[in-house]
Amino acid sequence: MGRIVVLEPRTVNMIAAGEVIERPASIVKELVENSIDAGAARIDVRVVEGGRRLISVTDDGTGMDAEDLAKAFDPHATSKIAAHCDLDSVATMGFRGEALASIAAVAQVRAVSKTGDEDAGNCIEIDCGKKTPVKACSADCGTIIEVRNIFCRLPARSKFLKSAGTEMTHIAEQFKRTVLGGFQAFGKPVEAALIHNQRRLCHLTAGQDLRQRIASLFGDFICEDLIEIVGRQPSSSAAGSSDLRVSALAGGAATARATGKFQYVFLNGRFIRDKSISHAIRQAYEGFLDPKRFAVIFLFLEAAPESYDVNVHPTKIEVRFRNSSAVHSVVCHTLRQALMTANLRKSAHAPGHQSKTFVTAGERPGPLPTDAPRRVAEPAALFETDRRDAPSPTKRKFMQIHNSFIAVETPDGFMLVDQHALHERLIYDRLREKMQLSRFESQRLLIPETLSLDDAEARIAESNAELLERLGIELAEFGPKTWAIQAFPTALSDGGRRGEKGISPQPVEPGRFVRDLLDLLDTEGAAAGQAALESFLRLAACKTAVKAGKKLTDAEIEQLLEESDDARKTVRCPHGRPAVIEFSKAEIERQFDRTVSPASRRG
């Protein structure tokens, strides 16, 4: 007798539920997505005891008649697609028809629904897979689905549920992901509320824009730090047959976090996780954040449905792009171009009177003033000084500290400058500008410098020959395991400022620099191109910038500050460390327990 049996439908549904319904938060996600697909203008989510006792989702969408309601909880029953060819153009949040059947297999469900052209509503009840006939009932237009006692017939699953507080945390996170992405994609003024144990946790109104919704969900502090980014990539190099549109609200150093928890990526309204996009975000922020910190960002991608496959994960949280490398390039380029022109300056805030140590906004963030201007991706001055009121640059007051830092008086306090980090940033910006215009100029060495390379290093040099040529470096074999540097970039001898005044660049040893560059190329691996160029620019800027511990003349300091005034760039070194930190006069006075009236301060 054969041992293989065909499982009964109820068992099949319970197995499917194990993939789709992990915890109460999964139910909230699936039901809210159904409400969005139904065109709801208002969605209310009520939860009792972290979803263990009750999850209720009410919407005013299109509703279902008696026939559709009877089929809705059958396996693989859906109104989103009709044939296999529809999988190539899925434009809704759901499409598989597994969610409602999976929920009904592991909980007690009651659903009430009414369409706009019916006089009465319809009701159905399911107890862990056992359905009752559909009955007529009184109801408003839309749908109400109540899910009670999840996993009540599955004690092995029920014992893995966490406390009500923990489960509610997961529900709130799913609510944020679903309503933020879904409402943004469909562009409708949707009202939504989340209520736990009769206490309203969140309420999004119909009139809120995206920034206001983020403030309601995550707090005003995160919202105030966000800059607006919008970009579009033509179809010739985007992910599919049509344009890839990228928009984002991205934060700076003040709100950066220790983990990537606050990086939200949405594709056509669907929250997704994608390693390639996460890498693109991290690469775009190189030089703007400490490498150990993660930017807060809400990234929205819009692409043709045929350019990606969403049918690769049971919960649809992962997608597969037809051209993932192009998506990576578009996201990285769009974000980095906006960040290069954004005002992401770092300010210092003094702590309470118990401590006399300064901390920065990036390390210990505090609330911004309510009248603080909203930041957008537009150029901003590095140091806000009215140069018309300063007839001579010599009027600037400054002093060098420990031959490493420069203290500069400002109209509203003072700022501390890391001379190496600021000079490194200025050189990096000049080199990057030259690189965008053309390849680097190089000069042939009168006496070629030789260096020994093992077989692995030689392979790296040969495989990156075209890149090295673009950088102005010419290598040639000179003997067994010996290579000669025939030409070297002029930018590394003049800091990218041929014919200009300024601090003399530090001498760079061609052999050591090339060896360091080959190590970087080996670390980057296959991520050549822009990533390798950025690595080269950071390395070149670091090697040629003035070092900490070097005594600067007053003229050199003045020139450095003048250049930073004109640069109008973000005041961070290419590796993400702050180059300038500002201290306000009010914070200084507070540290000395001075009480100064606004009138006397103006005087």
| pLDDT attached to residue 17 | 63
Residues 195 and 234 in one domain: no
Q: What is the dihedral of CA 115, 120, 124, 125, to 10 degrees?
A: 120
Structural domain contains residue 213:
no
Residues 198 and 225 in one domain: no
Boundaries of domain holding 73: 9-202
Q: Are 298 and 179 in contact (CB under 8 A)?
A: no
Structural domain contains residue 74:
yes
Residues 432 and 555 in one domain: yes
| pLDDT attached to residue 32 | 93
Structural domain contains residue 330:
yes
| pLDDT attached to residue 390 | 40
Residues 231 and 157 in one domain: no
Q: How many domains does the chain have?
A: 3
Residues 431 and 487 in one domain: yes
CATH number of the domain bearing residue 324: 3.30.230.10
Q: In b/e form, how buried is each residue of 233-265, taking b as 16+ CB within 10 angstroms?
A: beeeebbbeebbbbbbbbbbbbbbeeebebbbb
Structural domain contains residue 209:
no
Closest CA to 180 of 78, 97, 66, 264: 264
| pLDDT attached to residue 386 | 39
Residues 42 and 170 in one domain: yes
Residues 42 and 110 in one domain: yes
In sequence order, the β-bridge partners of residue 123 are: 112, 135
| pLDDT attached to residue 24 | 95
> Which structure tokens are listed for 588?
């200084």
Structural domain contains residue 123:
yes
Residues 181 and 312 in one domain: no
**What is each CA distance from 408 to 69, 151, 380, 399, 561, in whole angstroms?**
72, 65, 19, 7, 9
Structural domain contains residue 434:
yes
Structural domain contains residue 412:
yes
Alpha-carbon distance 215 to 509, whole Å?
51
Residues 412 and 538 in one domain: yes
* Amino acid at position 91, single letter: A
The pairing of beta strand 135-137 with beta strand 121-127: antiparallel
| pLDDT attached to residue 237 | 44
Integer-rounded Cα Rg, in Å, for the chain is 30
- CA 278 to chain CA mean position, Å: 7
Residues 105 and 142 in one domain: yes
Q: Name the stretches of the chain with pLDDT < 50.
A: 235-241, 349-394, 499, 526-528, 600, 603
Structural domain contains residue 524:
yes
pLDDT digits (tens, 9 = 90+) for 434-445: 777 667 788 898
CATH number of the domain bearing residue 181: 3.30.565.10
